[in-house]
Structure 1
Amino acid sequence: MGQAEQCLPRGVTIRKNKTGDTLIITFTYKGVLCREPFSRLEVNNKNIKYADRLLGEIQNKIEKGTFIYTDYFPKSPKLSLFGNVRRGRAIIDYLTEYLKICKTRNLSPSTLDGYKKCFTALSDLHKLPVTDLTPAILKNWIMQRQTALKTIRNRLSFLRSALDEAVTDGLISINPVGLVTASRYQSERGEHESEYIVDPLNPDEVTALLQAAGNQQWENLFRFALHTGMRSSELCALRWTDIDFIGKTAYIISASVSGVVKGTKTKAGKRKIELDEQALSALSSQKLFTFFRGEYVFEDPKTGEAWAGADAIRKKAWVPTLRKAGIRYRNPYQTRHTYATRHISRGANLFWLAGQMGHKGPEMLFRHYGSYLEEYDGNTGRQSSSQNGS
Structure 2
Amino acid sequence: MEKEDGNRTLSNARVNNILWPLISIMIVAAEEFKFDYPFSRYRALREQKADSSPMTLQEVKRFLDYVEPEWYDYFLLRFMTGMRSCEVHGLQLKHIDFDHRLIKVRQNVVNGEITDVKTPKSRRDLPINDILSSSLERITATLSEPDDFLFTNDDGEPLDTRYIGKQVWHPTLKRAGLKTRRPYETRHTAAVLHLAAHENPLYVSQLLGHSNTRLLFEIYAPYVFNAARNDGSAFSDLMRSSGVIKPD
With normalisation by structure 2, the TM-score equals 0.74
Q: C-alpha deviations, 1:162-208, integer Å up to 9, x for none? A: 6549958x9x953232235458xx5xxx5xxx523211122222112
Query: Per the alignment, do residues 255 and 180 of structure 1 end up closer, same or farther by CA in structure 2, a change over 3 Å counting?
Result: closer
Q: C-alpha deviations, 1:122-166, integer Å up to 9, x for none? A: xxxxxxxxxxxxxxxxxxxxxxxx747xx7755552352365499
Measure how far apart 1:366 and its partner are. Answer: 3.1
Amino acid at match of 1:333: Y
Corresponding residue for 1:362? 213
Corresponding residue for 1:206? 60
Measure how far apart 1:368 and its partner are. Answer: 2.8
Question: What is the correspondence of 1:55-94 to structure 2 with a 5 Å cutoff?
Answer: none
Larger radius of gyration: 1
Are positions 1:239 and 2:92 aligned together?
yes
Q: 2:75 aligns with which of 216, 222, 238?
A: 222
Contact map agreement 1:239 1:296 (CA 8 A) in 2: yes
Corresponding residue for 2:40? 178
Query: Per the alignment, do residues 242 and 159 of structure 1 end up closer, same or farther by CA in structure 2, a change over 3 Å counting?
Result: closer
Are positions 1:249 and 2:102 aligned together?
yes
Report the 3-state secondary structure (helix = DSSP H, G, I; strand = E; otherwise coil) of the residue aligned with 2:183.
coil
Q: C-alpha deviations, 1:88-124, integer Å up to 9, x for none? A: xxxxxxxxxxxxxxxxxxxxxxxxxxxxxxxx84xxx
Corresponding residue for 2:165? 314
Q: 1:348 aligns with which of 190, 196, 199?
A: 199
* Residue ranges of structure 2 left out of the alignment (5+ in a row): 1-8, 231-248
Are positions 1:259 and 2:112 aligned together?
yes
| Equivalent-residue separation in structure 1 for 2:131 and 2:199 (angstroms) | 18
Contact map agreement 1:233 1:257 (CA 8 A) in 2: yes
Measure how far apart 1:340 and its partner are. Answer: 0.3
Measure how far apart 1:322 and its partner are. Answer: 2.0
| Equivalent-residue separation in structure 1 for 2:52 and 2:131 (angstroms) | 23
Measure how far apart 1:262 and its partner are. Answer: 1.7
Query: Per the alignment, do residues 347 and 147 of structure 1 end up closer, same or farther by CA in structure 2, a change over 3 Å counting?
Result: farther
Are positions 1:158 and 2:27 aligned together?
no
Corresponding residue for 1:268? 121
Amino acid at match of 2:95: D
Q: 2:189 aligns with which of 330, 338, 349?
A: 338
Measure how far apart 1:314 and its partner are. Answer: 1.7
CA RMSD of aligned residues (A): 3.2
Report the 3-state secondary structure (helix = DSSP H, G, I; strand = E; otherwise coil) of the residue aligned with 2:109.
strand
Report the 3-state secondary structure (helix = DSSP H, G, I; strand = E; otherwise coil) of the residue aligned with 2:193.
helix
* Residue ranges of structure 1 left out of the alignment (5+ in a row): 1-119, 122-145, 378-390
Taking only the aligned residue pairs, the percentage that are identical comes to 27
Aligned length: 219
Report the 3-state secondary structure (helix = DSSP H, G, I; strand = E; otherwise coil) of the residue aligned with 1:299.
coil
| Equivalent-residue separation in structure 1 for 2:204 and 2:93 (angstroms) | 23
Contact map agreement 1:236 1:298 (CA 8 A) in 2: yes
Q: C-alpha deviations, 1:182-236, integer Å up to 9, x for none? A: 58xx5xxx5xxx52321112222211211212232x1110111111111111111
Query: Per the alignment, do residues 370 and 177 of structure 1 end up closer, same or farther by CA in structure 2, a change over 3 Å counting?
Result: farther
Amino acid at match of 2:222: S
| Equivalent-residue separation in structure 2 for 1:296 and 1:153 (angstroms) | 33
Contact map agreement 1:255 1:264 (CA 8 A) in 2: yes
